[in-house]
Amino acid sequence: MIIYSLVCARSGSKGLKDKNILDYNGHPMLTHSIMISKKCDLIHRTFVSTDSQKYADICLEYGAEVPFLRPDKIADDLSNDYDVFEHFITFLKDNKYILPDFIIHLRPTYPNRSALLMNDCIQQFINNYEHYDSLRTVIQIDKNPQKMYKIIDNVLIPFFKTYNDIIEPYNCPRQLFEKTYLHNGCIDIIKTKTIIDLKSMSGDSIYPYVMDESENNDIDSIEDFNKSKVKNMV
């Protein structure tokens, strides 16, 4: 199978300015995703989608391919993953690249993946290829969506008024409900045809790669950054 990875690294982070290129244990943070991708023998090419020439130059130094700059219209705070991947695949098709069977989505804000984990995710997906549209790493959490609320006009509104014939699930013990899993942002794998044919980043059948509950290291704030940097110093 032909396998590419794509690191998506826009430059306009508001919460933590330029977080994707902050020094993380001796390297710009986004380059950790490039380095781990290039260590993986199963991945044939490592691409980066960014709107910044500065970011692109850094990625090129670390051996990634950056054949375009992402348009501003899909590089703002509300841009979604599907638009970025659809743009990437369209570029590949228009420029006569060989399309991959699937793409590894590596978020630059998760800089401490292991090569062993990466290889295992890919191998698990290949072994189950006919049955799934995508793979996502998840962790088990002790919170149940059946017991969550939103606030509208200063009124607390349950997300679920009933659930599987249970009335007021938000007032029931959590033991009544299924185990709950959270997408931790470590590794996503998506078939190219899932994006092209289903116009989706996941499709209907997602392979669950369950990681340890401690593997929740996506960096979104300065607190996340400092905690992760200390935890993973080498």
Q: What H or E segment, with its residue span, contains residue 120?
A: helix 115-127
Taking Cα atoms as reference points, which of 205, 196, 201 lies closest to residue 133? 205
Beta carbons of 120 and 186 less than 8 angstroms apart: no
> Could you give the CA distance from residue 38 to residue 36 in angstroms, rounded to a whole number?
5
List, in order of start, the domains of the chain with CATH numbers: 3-137+184-231 (3.90.550.10)
- pLDDT under 50: residue ranges of the chain: 233-234
| pLDDT tens digits for range 73-107 | 998 888 899 999 999 999 999 999 999 999 999 99
| pLDDT tens digits for range 173-200 | 989 999 999 999 999 999 999 999 999 9
Q: What is the pLDDT of residue 233?
A: 43
Q: What is the DSSP letter of 138?
A: E
Q: What is the pLDDT of residue 18?
A: 85
CA 110 to chain centre: 8
Q: Which residues of 35-46 are buried (b: 16+ CB within 10 A; e: fewer)?
A: ebbbebeebebb
Q: What is the pLDDT of residue 158?
A: 96
DSSP per residue, 158-169: ES-SEETTEESG
Q: What is the pLDDT of residue 230?
A: 53
Beta carbons of 82 and 40 less than 8 angstroms apart: no
3-class secondary structure per residue, 52-102 = CHHHHHHHHHCCCECCCCCCHHHCCCCCCHHHHHHHHHHHHHHCCCCCCCE
